[in-house]
C-alpha cells in the first residue's frame, strides 16, 4: 500500500513538472495565447490550488485502504449512494440558481435559506462518500487496465487518480480564415452566460478571431478532473479517457499534443476509443445490471489546455425534448455543416461562412439542440474527437486513420502503445498503409 502511494506521488510531481515545462515557457506578449489572456487573466482557473487539494484527498483515501477492506457488494453500495447524493445536490443547486435568477424574488437570502441548509447537509454527506466511491472506481479501472496489459508489476503508471468536481470552462480560439485551435484557456467554473459572451465579443473584436467558451466534462490534470454526474457509465469512460491522456503524456504523442492539429486529433481520438472500451469492461465486470443502458460516452468533443498541458473533453450536447418532429440526424447534419464551412473558408469567403454557420445553428435550435454558437472555434474544439464517423470532424482524414489502426491492432494495449510513440501524422499514415 505504501509503495502505491509513493508511486502516485512521484508521478504526480512528474506530471506537474511536465505541465509547467511545456506550458509556462514565458511566451512573448505577441504569442497568440498571451494576446488572448489579456482578456481572461482575471477569470482564469487556478489549477495549482485544485491539484494540491485533490492530491491531499487522494492520499488520505489511499492511506485508509479503501476499497481493499470492503467486499464487492459494500463497494457497490457506496458507489450507488454517492450517485444518489450527487443527484440530490444537482437538483438543489439548480433550484438555488433559479431563485437567484428570478427577479421577482426580492430577498434571495431568505427565500433560499432552507434550500441552502439542505445543500449543506448533502455536501457534508458527499464529502464523506466521494473519496470512498472514487477510490473504489479507481481500483476497478486499475484492475481492468492490468488485465488489458497497461500495467507494470500490476500497477498502472501513472496510478488511476481522479476527482469529481465542478470543472473549469474553456475559451477556444481559432483564426477566422480557417479552422484550427490556436488557444485553449481554462476559465473559472461559475461564469454566467453574459460574462462568457462578453469575453468572446471582446476577444473577437480586438483580435479579429473566432472564439467560444465551452463547458467540459473532464480534464487530464493529475489527479484528473471529472464532471459531477449520476451517469456511472459516462463517469467510467471519462475516468479511463483522462487516464489515457496521462499515460500518453509520458510518451511522445502526449508530450507533443499541441504541436499540430493532427497530433491533437490523434491524442483525442485515441483517448476516446480507449476510454469507451475500458469503461464498458468495468461496467461489464462490476456493474452488469447497467449493461442494458450502456452507451458510448458522447465524444463529439474534447480539448487540451496548452497553458498547462492538460487534456479534457466537454459535456454532451443538450438533447432535444420528446415533442414530435421529423427525424433529425445530429451527426450527419453537423458533418454537412463542417464540410460546407470548410469549403467556403477555403475560397476565402469568411463572412459567407460565418453567416452560413449561424443559419445552421438556427436549424439545430429548431430541432431542439441549444447550441449558443457554431463558428470556427466550435469546430476547432469539437472536431478533434473523431472516434465515430461524421460529426464536427468533417472530412478530416486523421480520425479514420486512428480508427483503422485500432481495427488492425491485436489488442487495445497494442493500439495505444503503438500510437503513443508516434510524433507526426505521417507515421500513422504509414502504419495504416495510407
Cell of 292: 442494458
**pLDDT for res 74:** 92
**pLDDT for res 314:** 53
Q: How many angstroms separate the CA atoms of 78 and 196, rounded? A: 37
**pLDDT for res 254:** 95
Is the previous residue joined to 67 through a cis bond, with omega within 30 degrees of 0? yes
Q: How many angstroms separate the CA atoms of 401 and 181, rounded? A: 20
Asked whether residue 345 falls in the same domain as residue 273, the answer is: yes
- 211: which DSSP letter? E
Asked whether residue 109 falls in the same domain as residue 251, the answer is: no
Is 32 inside any structural domain? Answer: no
Q: How many angstroms separate the CA atoms of 90 and 97, rounded? A: 11
Q: Which domain holds residue 85?
A: 2-24+46-161
Asked whether residue 173 falls in the same domain as residue 157, the answer is: no
CB-based contact 417:394 (threshold 8 Å): no
Asked whether residue 342 falls in the same domain as residue 317, the answer is: yes
Asked whether residue 124 falls in the same domain as residue 12, the answer is: yes
Is 8 inside any structural domain? Answer: yes
Per residue of the chain (434 residues), give pLDDT as tens: 445 555 555 555 555 544 444 443 344 444 568 889 999 999 999 999 999 888 888 888 777 676 777 888 999 999 999 999 999 999 999 999 889 878 888 898 999 999 999 999 999 999 999 999 999 999 999 999 999 999 887 789 899 999 998 899 999 999 999 999 999 999 999 898 889 999 999 999 999 999 999 998 889 888 999 999 999 999 999 999 999 999 999 999 999 998 999 999 999 999 999 999 999 999 999 999 988 766 555 544 333 333 333 445 555 455 545 444 558 899 999 999 999 999 999 999 999 999 999 999 999 999 989 899 999 999 999 999 988 888 999 999 999 999 999 999 999 999 999 999 999 999 999 999 97
Asked whether residue 126 falls in the same domain as residue 269, the answer is: no
CB-based contact 417:409 (threshold 8 Å): no
**pLDDT for res 20:** 43
Is 33 inside any structural domain? Answer: no
**pLDDT for res 370:** 87
Q: How many CB atoms lie within 10 A of CB 245?
A: 29
Rg (CA), the chain: 22
Is 39 inside any structural domain? Answer: no
Instruction: Report pLDDT digits (tens) over 186-211.
Output: 999 989 888 999 999 999 999 999 99
Pairing of strands 224-226, 218-219: antiparallel
**pLDDT for res 9:** 53
- Strands across the sheet containing 183-187: 183-187, 169-174, 210-214
DSSP 283-323: HHHH-GGGGGG--PPP-S--EEETTTTEEEE-PPPPPP-SS
* Closest C-alpha among 378, 386, 326, 327 to residue 357: 378
**pLDDT for res 100:** 86
Q: Last residue of a domain, which of 99, 132, 161? A: 161
Asked whether residue 194 falls in the same domain as residue 256, the answer is: yes
Amino acid at each position: 500500500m505504501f509503495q502505491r502511494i509513493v508511486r502516485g506521488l512521484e508521478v504526480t510531481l512528474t506530471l506537474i513538472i511536465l505541465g509547467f515545462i511545456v506550458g509556462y515557457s514565458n511566451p512573448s506578449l505577441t504569442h497568440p495565447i498571451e494576446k488572448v489572456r489579456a482578456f481572461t487573466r482575471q477569470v482564469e482557473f487556478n489549477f495549482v490550488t485544485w491539484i494540491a487539494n485533490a492530491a491531499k484527498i487522494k492520499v488520505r483515501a489511499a492511506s485508509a485502504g479503501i476499497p481493499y477492506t470492503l467486499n464487492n457488494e459494500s463497494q457497490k453500495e457506496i458507489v450507488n449512494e454517492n450517485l444518489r447524493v450527487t443527484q440530490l445536490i444537482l437538483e438543489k443547486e439548480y433550484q438555488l440558481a433559479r431563485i437567484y435568477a428570478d427577479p421577482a424574488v426580492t430577498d434571495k437570502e431568505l427565500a433560499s435559506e432552507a434550500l441552502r441548509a439542505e445543500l449543506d447537509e448533502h455536501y457534508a454527506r458527499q464529502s464523506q462518500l466521494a473519496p470512498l466511491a472514487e477510490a473504489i472506481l479507481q481500483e476497478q479501472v486499475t484492475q481492468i487496465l492490468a488485465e488489458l496489459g497497461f500495467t507494470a508489476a500490476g500497477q498502472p503508471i501513472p496510478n488511476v487518480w481522479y476527482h469529481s468536481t465542478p470543472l473549469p470552462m474553456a475559451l477556444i480560439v481559432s483564426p477566422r480564415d480557417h479552422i484550427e485551435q490556436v488557444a485553449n484557456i481554462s476559465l473559472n467554473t461559475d461564469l454566467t452566460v453574459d460574462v462568457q459572451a462578453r469575453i468572446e465579443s471582446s476577444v473577437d473584436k480586438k483580435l479579429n478571431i473566432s472564439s467560444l467558451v465551452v463547458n467540459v466534462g473532464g480534464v487530464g490534470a493529475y489527479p484528473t478532473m471529472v464532471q459531477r454526474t449520476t451517469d456511472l457509465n459516462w463517469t467510467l469512460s471519462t475516468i479511463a479517457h483522462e487516464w489515457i491522456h496521462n499515460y500518453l503524456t509520458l510518451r511522445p504523442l502526449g508530450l507533443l499534443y499541441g504541436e499540430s492539429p493532427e497530433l491533437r486529433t490523434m491524442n483525442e481520438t485515441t483517448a476516446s476509443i480507449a476510454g469507451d472500451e475500458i469503461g464498458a469492461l468495468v461496467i461489464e465486470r462490476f456493474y452488469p445490471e447497467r449493461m442494458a443502458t450502456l452507451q458510448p460516452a458522447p465524444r463529439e468533443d474534447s480539448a487540451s489546455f496548452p497553458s498547462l498541458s492538460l487534456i479534457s473533453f466537454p459535456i454532451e450536447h443538450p438533447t432535444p425534448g420528446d415533442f414530435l418532429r421529423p427525424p433529425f440526424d445530429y451527426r450527419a447534419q453537423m458533418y454537412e455543416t463542417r464540410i460546407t464551412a470548410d469549403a467556403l473558408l477555403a475560397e476565402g469567403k469568411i463572412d459567407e461562412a460565418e453567416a452560413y454557420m449561424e443559419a445552421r445553428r438556427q436549424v439545430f435550435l429548431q430541432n431542439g439542440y441549444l447550441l449558443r454558437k457554431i463558428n470556427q472555434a466550435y469546430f476547432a474544439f469539437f472536431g478533434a474527437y473523431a472516434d465515430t464517423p461524421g460529426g464536427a470532424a468533417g472530412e478530416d482524414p486523421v480520425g479514420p486513420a486512428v480508427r483503422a489502426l485500432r481495427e488492425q491492432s491485436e489488442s487495445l494495449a497494442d493500439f495505444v502503445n503503438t500510437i503513443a510513440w508516434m510524433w507526426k501524422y505521417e507515421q500513422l499514415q504509414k502504419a495504416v498503409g495510407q
